[in-house]
Amino acid sequence: MIPELVIGDRAYVESALMSQLHTDADAAIHERGTFVIALAGGSIAELFFPSLARLPLDWSRIDFFWVDERAVPPDHPDSNFGEAERLWLRPAGVPSARVHRIHAEDPNLERAADAYTAELVRVAGSPPAIDFALLGVGPDGHIASLFPDHAALREERPIAVAINDAPKPPPRRITLTLPVLAASRRVVVAAQGEAKAEIVRRTLWRSAATPLGLLIARARNLRVLLVK
């Protein structure tokens, strides 16, 4: 598919993201009673989570999952969950029952990935129907913890997989697989900075074979947000 591309300064892109999330969440809650969102961490958390936390939504009807997590405790500075808790979940008053973190601090990553799969299926069905996947992108085109040429990028059947050899530290992680992300009702990829803008340009206009490019090719509804 050809994704919608939104380019502007931080305020413009932030407004577009807030409007999209608000509209989608309201519609899903009205139609189905719940809304399932899957979050990334990294730079997009600092950029957008504080503003998203102020949206006038019924947080008791929104289930929070994560697209990936590093194998660290939840209070570690590298924890995607910890970052979201600090910037979004706690300020918004999201009920703990609606927060479904990846227990990637478990020494047995495969067991943690299986448990996370079971929780996502319990909440979002089989195969999981994620309403809104909010992703960042790396300068190499990686999304979630799906890196170029890594075996996890080729996984088709699992929902969540353990990674012990990610090329970017920390090497141990858990991530949702490409088919699960691509099947989300909406995927939003957000990026800031020239290095990330360049990989988006290469992927969109030069058909670079990046994880982002594979996601774009398979996603049912995808929007790319670039902060200048």
Asked if pLDDT for residue 208 goes beyond 70, the answer is: no
Residue of 199, 83, 210 whose CA lies nearest to 153: 210
With both helix axes pointing from N to C terminus, report the angle between 194-205 and 211-218 in degrees, rounded to the nearest 10: 50
pLDDT band for 131, please (50, 70, 90 cuts).
Answer: very high
pLDDT at 1 (0 to 100) = 66
Containing domain of residue 150, as a range? 4-227
- For residue range 22-52, list pLDDT tens digits in order: 999 999 999 999 999 999 999 999 999 999 9
**Contact between residue 137 and residue 44 where contact means Cβ atoms under 8 Å apart:** no
Tell me the sheet residues that pair with 225: 6, 190
Instruction: Give the pLDDT mean for 71-87.
Output: 97
Asked if pLDDT for residue 144 goes beyond 70, the answer is: yes
Asked if pLDDT for residue 206 goes beyond 80, the answer is: no
Q: Are strands 62-66 and 35-39 parallel, antiparallel or unpaired?
A: parallel
Residues in contact with 71: Cβ distance below 8 Å, sequence separation at least 6, in sequence order: 104, 105, 109, 170, 172, 173, 174
Phi-psi label, residue 108: left if phi above 0, alpha if psi -120 to 50, beta otherwise: beta
> What's the farthest any 2 CA atoms get from each other in the chain?
44
Structure tokens belonging to residue 105:
């601090």
Q: What percent of the chain has pLDDT over 70?
A: 99
For the entire predicted model, the pTM comes to 0.96
Instruction: Give the pLDDT mean for 89-103.
Output: 98
Asked if pLDDT for residue 105 goes beyond 80, the answer is: yes
CATH number reported for the structural domain that contains residue 106 in this entry: 3.40.50.1360
pLDDT at 222 (0 to 100) = 96
Q: How many domains does the chain have?
A: 1
Residue matched to tokens 């079971």: 118
**Contact between residue 24 and residue 35 where contact means Cβ atoms under 8 Å apart:** yes
Asked if pLDDT for residue 207 goes beyond 80, the answer is: no
**Contact between residue 144 and residue 69 where contact means Cβ atoms under 8 Å apart:** no
User: What is the C-alpha separation between 91 and 54, in angstroms, rounded?
Assistant: 8
**Contact between residue 225 and residue 190 where contact means Cβ atoms under 8 Å apart:** yes
Mean per-residue pLDDT of the chain? 96
pLDDT at 2 (0 to 100) = 79
**Contact between residue 137 and residue 224 where contact means Cβ atoms under 8 Å apart:** no
